């Protein structure tokens, strides 16, 4: 008997770095193809999928601001970087036969639909993947915050945060080989321990709306599907005792 998805509607949060390869390509077609394949498998289960992608592989507004650029201008440039990544992922998803819509928080009608909540929900109900580009459309807000906001707006059942490691650790496992992985945490743990898996605004939005956050390793084949089916992959953040 086939397992049924635990989460029928998800918001997948990808970093821009997820599209980059060890060959230092800003967008590696092989990596994007692999991600698109994972998403296609989950869509085949009947799961509605929204996606938010960062732009850090191309341009980081906060970093540019720290080097002297006007923060608002830098953040606007970062929003455009997320649009580039969104269009790349859309292309590979549609090559997999997955109907996909890019919806932008800033107006770019030649390339993407404007973000309208009801239209986004209608796309999801028609089993189209929706990629939410350009963050919230406002400077000073991260794509983590955009992911939490869009997830709440489209009534997603969980935010799935894809990373390069298999969950949340007490310290950076790439540096500290003794780092311990948490299986479960509360929203308060994330803020008090300063674990920095998502910014405080995003975590607070999820906490106030009882929206679980699941942190997992994206490029382990089948992991996204396992998370959606409720298998113990990665770290889950929700209310209650740890």
* Residue 242 falls inside a structural domain: no
* Residue 3 falls inside a structural domain: no
At residue 178, the pLDDT reads 86
Q: What is the mean pLDDT of residues 46-55?
A: 97
Q: What is the mean pLDDT of residues 72-97?
A: 96
* Burial class of 75 by CB neighbour count within 10 A (0 to 12, 13 to 18, 19+): buried
Q: Which domain holds residue 167?
A: 9-237
pLDDT reading at 53 higher than 90: yes
> What tens digit of pLDDT does each residue of 165-183 get?
899 998 888 888 888 899 9
Pairing of the two strands 213-217 and 48-53:
unpaired
Q: What is the mean pLDDT of residues 131-148?
A: 96
At residue 242, the pLDDT reads 45
* Residue 226 falls inside a structural domain: yes
Report which of residues 240 and 18 the model is more confident about.
18
* Residue 59 falls inside a structural domain: yes
User: Domain with 104 in it: what CATH number?
Assistant: 3.40.1160.10
Q: Which residues of 97-118 are buried (b: 16+ CB within 10 A; e: fewer)?
A: ebebbbbbbbebeeebbebeee
Q: What are phi and psi of 12, to 5 degrees?
A: -90, 120
CB 237 within 8 A of CB 187: yes
Pairing of the two strands 168-169 and 181-182:
antiparallel
* Residue 160 falls inside a structural domain: yes
Mean pLDDT across the chain: 92
Q: What is the mean pLDDT of residues 193-213?
A: 93
Least confident of 17-21, 72-76, 116-120: 17-21
Least confident of 9-23, 34-48, 119-133: 9-23
Angle at 128 between CA 126 and CA 134, to 5 degrees: 130
At residue 69, the pLDDT reads 87
* Residue 170 falls inside a structural domain: yes
pLDDT reading at 84 higher than 90: yes
pLDDT reading at 1 higher than 70: no
* Residue 163 falls inside a structural domain: yes
* Residue 1 falls inside a structural domain: no
Q: How many domains, the chain?
A: 1
Q: What is the mean pLDDT of residues 90-103?
A: 98
């Amino acid at each position: 008997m086939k397992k049924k998805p635990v989460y029928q509607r998800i918001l997948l949060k990808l970093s821009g770095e997820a599209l980059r390869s060890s060959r230092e390509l800003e967008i590696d077609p092989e990596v994007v193809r692999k991600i698109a394949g994972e998403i296609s498998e989950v869509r085949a289960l009947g799961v509605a999928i929204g996606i938010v992608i960062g732009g850090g592989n191309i341009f980081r507004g906060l970093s540019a601001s720290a080097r002297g650029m006007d923060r608002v201008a830098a953040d606007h440039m970062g929003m455009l970087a997320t649009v580039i990544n969104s269009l790349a992922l859309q292309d590979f998803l549609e090559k997999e036969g997955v109907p996909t819509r890019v919806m932008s928080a800033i107006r770019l009608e030649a390339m993407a639909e404007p973000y309208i909540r009801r239209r986004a929900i209608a796309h999801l109900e028609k089993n189209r993947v929706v990629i939410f580009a350009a963050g919230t459309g406002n400077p000073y807000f991260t794509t983590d915050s955009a992911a939490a906001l869009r997830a709440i707006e489209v009534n997603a059942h969980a935010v799935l945060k894809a990373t390069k490691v298999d969950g949340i650790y007490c310290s950076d496992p790439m540096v500290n080989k003794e780092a311990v992985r948490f299986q479960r945490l509360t929203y308060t743990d994330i803020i008090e321990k300063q674990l920095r898996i998502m910014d405080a605004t995003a975590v607070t939005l999820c906490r106030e709306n009882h929206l679980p956050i699941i942190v997992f390793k994206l490029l382990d084949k089948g992991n996204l599907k396992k998370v959606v089916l409720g298998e113990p992959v990665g770290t889950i953040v929700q209310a209650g005792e740890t």
